[in-house]
């Protein structure tokens, strides 16, 4: 992980930076450093940001017009369903993420693609995730698939 972070710090243009979030553009790729996590997946970046409080709300106004929209829905779904805290402890789920992600992706992957495709700013993706992929929705799905205790 550290090698990636060093690469991002040494290359590219800093698009946005505050005490918690740093967005760097290198060629046609954007890298989001959010706390200890780093990703180039737009859906995952928004999902991580939603789980963490940030002092600077300008991140949500970041336009995505020239960002890479090649995403992996399972990454965003991992964070939206609880992230490391939930999937490592299995406090609520009865199976690990590797046994469940295909079911979540099959059900909600298209929503993630459409939310990102239609968005103009990160805030648009956040609003779509809150509307269509909120915790009650995802938890009800998990209950219907017998994925929770």
Rounded Cα gap, residues 116 and 46, in angstroms? 10
Closest CA to 64 of 109, 133, 120: 120
Per-residue pLDDT of the chain (149 residues; tens, 9 = 90+): 344 555 545 668 999 888 889 999 988 789 999 989 999 999 999 999 998 866 667 889 999 988 888 899 999 999 999 999 999 999 999 999 999 999 999 999 999 999 999 999 999 999 999 999 999 999 999 999 999 98
Beta-bridge partner residues of 38: 33
CA 44 from centre of chain: 2
Domain extents for the chain?
Answer: 2-144
- CB of 109 within 8 A of CB of 116? no
> Could you tell me if 79 and 47 are in contact, meaning their C-beta atoms sit under 8 angstroms apart?
yes
């Amino acid at each position: 992980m550290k090698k990636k972070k060093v690469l991002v710090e040494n290359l590219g243009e800093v698009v946005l930076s505050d005490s918690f979030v740093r967005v760097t553009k290198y060629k046609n790729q954007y890298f989001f450093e959010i706390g200890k996590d780093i990703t180039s997946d737009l859906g995952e970046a928004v999902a991580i940001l939603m789980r963490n409080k940030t002092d600077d709300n300008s991140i949500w106004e970041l336009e995505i017009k020239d960002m890479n929209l090649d995403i992996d829905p399972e990454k965003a779904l991992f964070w939206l369903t609880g992230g490391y805290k939930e999937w490592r402890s299995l406090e609520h789920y009865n199976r690990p993420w590797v046994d469940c992600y295909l079911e979540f992706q099959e059900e909600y992957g298209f929503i993630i693609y459409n939310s990102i495709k239609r968005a103009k700013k990160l805030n648009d993706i956040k609003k779509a995730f809150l509307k269509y992929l909120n915790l009650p929705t995802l938890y009800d799905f998990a209950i219907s698939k017998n994925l929770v205790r």
